[in-house]
Chains A and B, each alone.
Chain A
Amino acid sequence: MDELRPDPDALLAAIQKDEERQQRGKLKIFFGMAAGVGKTYAMLDAAHQLKQDGVDVVVGYVETHKRAETEALISGLEVMPRQKIEYRGAVLEEMDLDAILERKPQLVLVDELAHTNVPGTRHTKRWQDVEEILEVGIDVYTTVNVQHFESRADTVRQITGVTVYETVPDTMLDLADEIELIDLSPEDLRKRLAEGKVYTPERIEVAASNFFRTGNLTALREMALRLTAEHVDHKLQDYMQLKRIAGPWKSSERLMVGISPSPFSEQLIRWTRRMAYNLEAPWLAVYVQTAKPLHPEEKDRLAHNLALARNLGGEVLTVVGDNIQEVMLRLARQRNISQIVVGKPIHTRLQAALRGGSLVDKLVRASGDIDVFVVTGDPISKPQVNAQPRAATPHSSVKQYVLAAIIVATVTVIDLIAVPFIGYQAVGLTELFAVLLIAAYLGRGPALLAAFLSALSWNFLFISPRYTFHISQLQDVILFLLYFAIAIFTGNLTARIRRQERQARYNADRTLALYTLAHEIATAVNMDDVLQTAVTQLSSVFDARIAFLLPDGETLNPRPHPVSTLPIDEKDFSVARWAFDNGKPAGRFTDTLPLASAQYLPLNTPSRTVGVIGIGLQQEERLSLDQEVLLETFINQIALVIERELLDEAAEQTAMLQESERLSTTLLNSISHELRTPIAAIMGSATSLLDPQTASSQDARDELAKDIRESADRLNRLVENLLDMSRLESGRLQLKREWCDLGEIVGVAVQRFERCFEERPLHIDVEPNLPLLLVDFVLIEQVIVNLLDNACTYTPIATQVQIELRHTPPVLELVIHDNGPGVPAEDLEKIFDKFYRVPGRTSGGTGLGLSICRGLVEAHGGTLTAENVYPSGLRFVLRLPLEGMPPPVREAEL
């Protein structure tokens, strides 16, 4: 039973594929073995049929090649205007992608899928345009010939001798919902060619004798038929899986191909893809990065190879390690690889032996139960291999070689002077030491040169008979040979240690850079900090100017974040926006809008794209592979942190809302009492006044009117306090600082409490000649008013109140001291809390006054504290800092 049960993963994949297809537009490929079989004709014909059925069809781009029958077919269809692009003085026409996306028809006809766009258009290849059209849900009909598929390109070259430059990734074939093979026998095609239906007369001759040879056509036809058959077979399997029909379930095979910057790798990749496709197996392309540095050319080729593997649907991995076969096997075991594909070695047996055995030998020996395929390279590409510059180990410059020679010469001269005292054997050791030093500091090449030179000079100048290369004694011969061997061996060894050390240092640098970024980002307190850190780190690690573009709601904000160092103009922004909308890289060094001056990478997180980073490299060439990997890691990290920040901000807002909700509940509870009491008093007194009985008594009238007035006062105070509180809390409080006389402020405040201090003896003690203070007059007055209000509200009549004002540098101290009952010690701090009232006290205050006082004083950089005094009473101490001196005061000129 078990064997019949569908593999859940495979089933899920099939369903996902199906769902994805339903949202996307449908792709139909009209497929042929060569030009002239009638693909375009068939496509247009099909379009006409659909148009009659009421489908909204437009011609995105169709090349008629001036064939009358094709032109006739196109005339009945809506043709999208083409985009005109100036390139090197000529005006060229391309499909207008944006116009199509804007027009949004149901179906677009796009001829020649493999076409390469003129530089200056959004994508380098037309198939990328098609992908974008499909993505927005528009169906596409397109045409392509078999030789244009990546995986067939080298087979085609082997058969026809023609190198195909315009290729389409095989994933496009997988993407296709339908493939229609336009088949024609080679004879018929040649006939059409001869009739001038394929090319213009002058090109017929050349074509017929080259590409259109019957042999070629037969081979191409077979390829086209086979490709179609394979595709149909896959469709059937997908269908069966989706419908849970038990059948030939996907194999458990997994392939891995080892790639390098070599041009061979391209063939290896294509070979692996073909095999994986037929096996229905996933495949991995692995590049093992060693300490060996790469030439810019090699870097390019490696990037090309990796991109090819990605395009062909492989998973691409880069790992670092010096021992290639060990790294590959470890990875293979981790990933359950069943088959490894490697290239046949190009070294001779001797070379391989010198290098400690070829990679293939070592791999095969250690592979255990993993199969190893060794694939032969195409002889055509061999000359390229030879022409390729030798990838040097840490490239030593000519200068270093000269330096090595000079060191050897210097040591030799010193030895010439010293030899009478130390003997020629010691001379050998000094020379050996020099070779070691050269190996350590100048590299392998100079060390070998030094070994060679010093051996010769030792022999010639020191070993008897001196001044000949002849050696007379056997022990000297052995000594000389040993010297030579040791010099070469240690030189090599030292150089290799140095190389490994460099690799280790590089790894450490990379780790450090990542660690620094991670650490600094983690400690950044807000978004601005995070981005600032990222800009600083990225600029220094990659020597680039950086811009961050963040979304404003759903769309990207055209103004880069202020920390950005890379200016963004309108054109750059359109590139960035594309990267944001599509979640894919764009700009320089990419396939999309490559003419832009900078690279724009989306900040992707698993859930969404949180922004775009623009990177303007100072250097002309693209980043090396490992730098790109590092950059990618950086960007992932930054994206995650940005998302974290965005989520934090959202959470903070929620928390703030909750807090303000809680506060407003407390406020309402506390205040409803405070509001209702005076209102009740006003209402009661006013209605009593209306009562003629009560109103007849003069005393009663006065009493009631006084009550109304006092209650209104109380209400007014409450409202003022609430307003102040909200001003303080919202942070909108702005201090209007000016030079003030604190004594004057006290005087103003005291005047407000005339009635209170008629009932309570007030004593004011102001130290003479107090310096002026730089404070907000009105706010400090309010602090004093609230403190006095507190004294009046909470102390019984006849309580003595004392105000003292003292100069105690660096502060001015104001003490308000009453003889009242004081406050329980445990409440001394709490009385400054909002809405706190000492339990058991008569109400009358709002519970806000002291809290406002402290807020205002702290806004001035001062302190406000409360303390009980013996034997009874409460003391408020207000300390305000003395800042600077006021400018001198002038007499008026009168």
Chain B
Amino acid sequence: MSDGAPILVVDDEVQIRRFLRISLEANGYRVHEAALGQDALLKTAQLRPELVILDMGLPDIDGLEVLRRLREWTKTPVIILSVRDSDRDKVSALDAGADDYLTKPFSMEELMARLRVAQRHAQPDPEEPIFRSGDLQVDLVRRIVTVRDEPVKLTPTEYALLRLLIQHAGKVLTHKQILREVWGPEYVNETHYLRVYFAQLRQKIEHDPAVPRLLLTEAGVGYRLMVEDRVQ
């Protein structure tokens, strides 16, 4: 399957690289490997992969630094794999431009789903005027939101939130990113705005607001809008 999308796996652990290679190749990716940060920077430039899977704890340069240097010149989607599970690490990686973050141990299923989302964003989709996920349908041109074909009335702020999430559907947005985009840079620390508005939004668009399926909370990090194909 050497004709699939090229992907670069950066991890210093041989075993992790090995099982990633097996699974990724089975799923049709063309896998390149790098064990060091320097190596990763070089191979990204040479091989131009469509996706990068990056470990944070590298022996030579810290993964976060690798990410920053990559972001200086490329928008190639980067998914972070790390044993560091504190929300501070996640947030700093996402704020530095990572597209997603998975903590080890993780399931292959999960990784594949995240890779697909990242890939979709990388391909500059023709701007779709209508977004659908599960019961939710949003007409971005006419600004009409319907849930199970029932129109839903959103406040301007709620709509702005929803539109931002749709633009990055499937991807985690950190609290800071959302607050900066919707409220402005001076509000980046007012996390409780999000608590209130997401609760309101869930009341309006979720089937069961207590167990949300669309507007997911990433504990300590931010929010993600799930893209669901099945209709309930």
Contacts and interface: CB of A to CB of B under 8 A. Distances in A.
Interface of A: 709, 712, 716, 736, 738-741, 743-748, 750-751, 764, 766, 772, 777-778, 781, 886-887, 889-894
B157 A709 contact: no
A745 B220 CA distance: 10
A744 B157 contact: no
Given A744-B217, A777-B219, A887 B192 contact: yes
B183 A892 contact: yes
A886 B183 CA distance: 18
Interface in B161-214: 182-184, 187, 190-193, 195-199, 208-212
A751 B211 contact: yes
Given A738-B192, A744-B198, A892 B217 contact: no
A740 B209 CA distance: 16
Contact of B195 (A739, A746, A766): A739
Contact of B210 (A766, A891, A893): A766
Given A747-B212, A777-B220, A889-B193, 11 more contacts: A736-B220, A743-B199, A747-B210, A751-B216, A766-B210, A777-B219, A890-B183, A890-B193, A891-B157, A892-B160, A893-B184
Contacts of A764: 208, 210-211
A709 B156 contact: no
A738 B192 CA distance: 7
A890 B190 CA distance: 10
Of all A-B residue pairs in the complex, the 4 with the closest CB atoms, nearest first, are: A739-B192, A764-B210, A778-B220, A892-B157
B232 interface: no
B15 to A, nearest CB: 13
Contact of B191 (A739, A746, A892): A739
Interface residues of B, number: 29
30 contacts: A716-B105, A738-B191, A739-B192, A740-B192, A741-B195, A743-B199, A743-B209, A746-B210, A747-B209, A747-B210, A748-B216, A748-B217, A748-B219, A750-B210, A751-B216, A764-B210, A772-B192, A772-B196, A777-B220, A778-B87, A778-B220, A889-B190, A889-B196, A890-B183, A890-B193, A891-B156, A892-B160, A892-B182, A892-B183, A894-B156
B155 interface: yes
B46 interface: no
A772 B157 contact: no
B199 A741 contact: yes
Nearest to A742: B195
Contact of B219 (A716, A739, A778): A778
A764 B202 CA distance: 15
Interface string B82-109: 0000010000000000000000010100
Contacts of A746: 210
Contacts of A766: 209-210
A440 B128 CA distance: 107
Contacts of A747: 209-212, 217
Contacts of B209: 743, 747, 766
Nearest to B87: A778
A772 B194 CA distance: 11
A739 B191 CA distance: 7
A890 B87 CA distance: 26
A891 B156 CA distance: 8
A716 B192 CA distance: 32
A744 B211 contact: no
Contacts of B193: 889-890
| Most chain B CB atoms below 10 A, which of A736, A748, A889 | A889
A744 B199 contact: yes
A716 B220 CA distance: 20
Nearest to B107: A709
A889 B219 contact: no
A886 B192 contact: yes
B218 to A, nearest CB: 8
Contacts of A712: 105
Interface in B2-39: none
Nearest to B85: A720
A686 to B, nearest CB: 12
A891 B155 contact: yes
A740 B195 contact: yes
B192 A781 contact: no
A744 B199 CA distance: 7
A743 B200 CA distance: 12
A894 B163 CA distance: 13
Given A709-B107, A712-B105, A751-B216, A772 B210 contact: no
| Most chain A CB atoms below 10 A, which of B155, B160, B193, B195 | B195
| Most chain A CB atoms below 10 A, which of B156, B193, B219 | B219
Nearest to B182: A892
A891 B184 CA distance: 11
Contact of A772 (B155, B160, B195, B197): B195
A750 B195 contact: no
A736 B192 CA distance: 14
Contacts of B183: 890, 892-893
B195 A744 contact: yes
B219 A781 contact: yes
Contacts of A892: 156-157, 160, 182-184
A620 to B, nearest CB: 59
A891 B219 CA distance: 24
A743 B87 CA distance: 20
Contacts of A748: 216-217, 219
B47 to A, nearest CB: 32
B105 to A, nearest CB: 5
Nearest to B191: A738
Contacts of B196: 741, 772, 889
A770 B195 CA distance: 11
A750 B157 CA distance: 28
A77 to B, nearest CB: 66
Contacts of A744: 195, 198-199, 217
Nearest to A803: B210
B82 to A, nearest CB: 15
A712 B105 CA distance: 9
A51 B208 CA distance: 103
Contacts of B208: 764
A892 B188 CA distance: 12
A64 B102 CA distance: 89
Contacts of B155: 891
Contacts of A709: 107
Nearest to B192: A739
| Most chain B CB atoms below 10 A, which of A744, A748, A772, A887 | A744
B84 to A, nearest CB: 12
A750 B209 CA distance: 12
Contacts of A745: 217, 219
Contact of B211 (A750, A889, A894): A750
A685 to B, nearest CB: 15
B157 A894 contact: yes
A709 B197 CA distance: 37
A585 B65 CA distance: 59
B6 to A, nearest CB: 28
| Most chain B CB atoms below 10 A, which of A736, A889, A890, A892 | A892
Contacts of A739: 191-192, 195
A894 B219 contact: no
A746 B184 CA distance: 29
A814 to B, nearest CB: 12
Nearest to A764: B210
Nearest to B159: A894
Nearest to B195: A741
A751 B157 CA distance: 27
Contacts of B107: 709
Nearest to A740: B195
B131 to A, nearest CB: 19
Contacts of A750: 210-211
Given A748-B217, A890-B183, A894-B160, A743 B105 contact: no
Interface in B213-227: 216-217, 219-220
Contacts of A890: 183, 187, 193
